[in-house]
Structure 1
C-alpha cells in the first residue's frame, strides 16, 4: 500500500501517575482497512481509542487523520476531524431518556444538514432513523421503544445504527461482542463487516474475542504493557508463531504473559 494512511500514530505515550499505559505506539491504518487490536484487560486498548477521539490527551506523540495531526491543529479543525468518526461503545451507551429513534437521530442532527443547510428537525431525524434501523436488521417500529425494552443484542444493533447514522469515514468498535452469546456475537460481527464495506469506512476494533477479531479484521496487532508487540494479518492470529500472541489467542496459562498481582 502507498500514500498517506487514513490514521497514522507515532510515538504515542500516556501515563496515569506512575503507570505507563501507552509506551511509544506506532500504528498505520490504511483507508478502507479494518484493523483489530487485541490485548488483555488493562493493556491500554480503550485508552488508545480515547486518545484518538480526543477524550484523553496523550503525553507525547502524534495522531494524524489524512495527514493532519489532531494534537497540533486548531480546536476547530480537531473537532471537524473527530466528527468524521462513528463509535460503537462496549455497552451500547444509549441514552435511557430517549427513544431508540431519538438515540439514532441525536447523531444525525449533530452531523447532517438539510438542503437549506439547516440542522435536521427532530421529525426528519426520526424518519431517517427507520432506514438506518433496517440496515442493522431491525424493523423501523423498534424506533418507538426505549433502550430498556431491548435485549442485549438489539441494544448492540441500535448502537451500531447510531454509529453509522452520519455515514462516518472512520468507525471505532469497543469490545463489540461483550455480553453476547456466540451466535449473536457472530450476527453483530456480520453486521459490522457489512456496514463497514457499504460505507467504505476505515475501522478500528478492540477486542479480546478471537473469533470476533478474525471475522472483523483485515489487519491485527497485539497490545501488551503499553506496546504493540505484534502486527500481522487478522487471519493469522491463531497461528502467528509469536509466543506471546499464541498464548493469548489460545488462552494458555503458561507462557511469556504472566498474571500480575495488583498492589
Structure 2
C-alpha cells in the first residue's frame, strides 16, 4: 500500500539572521484537506516559517515540498504558479483602503493573474465577490461598495477571509486570525474559517497564540520554541498533553521551562 504525499512536507528547515537562529531543523507534514495550527510565543519562529512556506523567504538549509515538489528548486514562473494556488488571511486583514470592498475581495481575480489567459471579467469577479461575501455572513448589497474604514474590525476580518477564499485556493494561511477581536467575534471568525475551509476542501495552516482558536480551527497542531519544533499532535490535545513547554504555554503559567524575562523599573 502506497503512502500518500503530504500537501506540504517540511524537512530540516533552518533560518538564521546573523547569530539569531530563528528556525532550527524544523520538520513537519501537513496532510491535504486538514487544518494545521502552529503555536508559540513571540519570537518563536512562527512568522518566519510561514514566510518560508509562502516562498517569500529562503531558508539557510532544508526543504519545503508542496505536492512533492521542493519550491526552492522551481523556477520563478513555477513558484509564482504555486503561489497562485494559495490564499492568505493577514493578521490585520490588510485591506486596500482605496478600493471598495468587492474589489478587495476580488483583488486576485482582477489583478493577480495577468499572465493567465483565462482571467475573469470584471462582472465575473463582482459575482464571485458577492458570493463569498455571503459565505462569510456579509450582505454584498450593503457592504460591497463601502470602503474598509467604514467597517468594524470584525467585518474587516470577514472581508479578509472572503478575499482569502475568493480564488478557491488549495492552501490557505491564517496569520493570528482572532487578534484584536473580542472572544465572541473571535469564535464567529473561527467558525467561518472552519466552514469555508471544509467547503473548499482546502489545506489550512494557521499561526496563533489563542488556544481557544487553535482548538476550534485545527485538526493537528505543533509548537515552536526558540525556533525548534518541540511538540506535534492533535489540536484537541493541546490542553492535556504532558509536554511541559506546551502545558505551560497553553495554560498561561508563569512557572515552567519557558523563562519569561520581565523588567520593572
SS in 1 for 2:238: helix
Structure 2 residue 224 is the aligned partner of structure 1 residue 223: yes
Which structure 2 residues correspond to residues 166-181 of structure 1 after superposition, within 5 A? 166-181=167-182
What is the CA–CA distance in structure 2 between the aligned matches of 1:144 and 1:20, rounded to whole Å?
46
**Cα distance, 1:75 vs. partner?**
1.3
- 1:54-109 CA-partner distances (Å, limit 9, x unpaired): 11111111010000000111111111112111000000010111111111111122
Task: Using structure 2 for the length normalisation, give the TM-score.
Answer: 0.94
Structure 2 unmatched ranges of 5 or more? none
- Which residue is 1:127 aligned to? 127
**Cα distance, 1:163 vs. partner?**
0.2
- Which residue is 1:161 aligned to? 162
- Which residue is 1:189 aligned to? 190
- Which residue is 2:49 aligned to? 48
- 1:217-255 CA-partner distances (Å, limit 9, x unpaired): 000000000011000010000011111100000000000
What is the CA–CA distance in structure 2 between the aligned matches of 1:125 and 1:89, rounded to whole Å?
21
What is the CA–CA distance in structure 1 between the aligned matches of 2:204 and 2:53, rounded to whole Å?
13
Q: Any conservation in 2 of the 1:111–1:166 contact (CA below 8 Å)?
A: no
The count of corresponding residues between Structure 1 and Structure 2 is 260
What is the CA–CA distance in structure 2 between the aligned matches of 1:199 and 1:52, rounded to whole Å?
21
- Which residue is 2:68 aligned to? 67
- 1:99-137 CA-partner distances (Å, limit 9, x unpaired): 111111111224679xx9442233431232111100111
What is the CA–CA distance in structure 2 between the aligned matches of 1:112 and 1:137, rounded to whole Å?
27
What is the CA–CA distance in structure 1 between the aligned matches of 2:198 and 2:128, rounded to whole Å?
20
What is the CA–CA distance in structure 2 between the aligned matches of 1:108 and 1:194, rounded to whole Å?
22
Structure 1 unmatched ranges of 5 or more? none
SS in 1 for 2:33: coil
Q: Any conservation in 2 of the 1:153–1:180 contact (CA below 8 Å)?
A: yes
CA RMSD of aligned residues (A): 1.7
- 1:191-232 CA-partner distances (Å, limit 9, x unpaired): 000001000001100000000000000000000000110000
Task: Sort the Cα spacing of 1:117 and 1:77 in 2 relative to 1 into closer, same or farther, 3 A.
Answer: closer
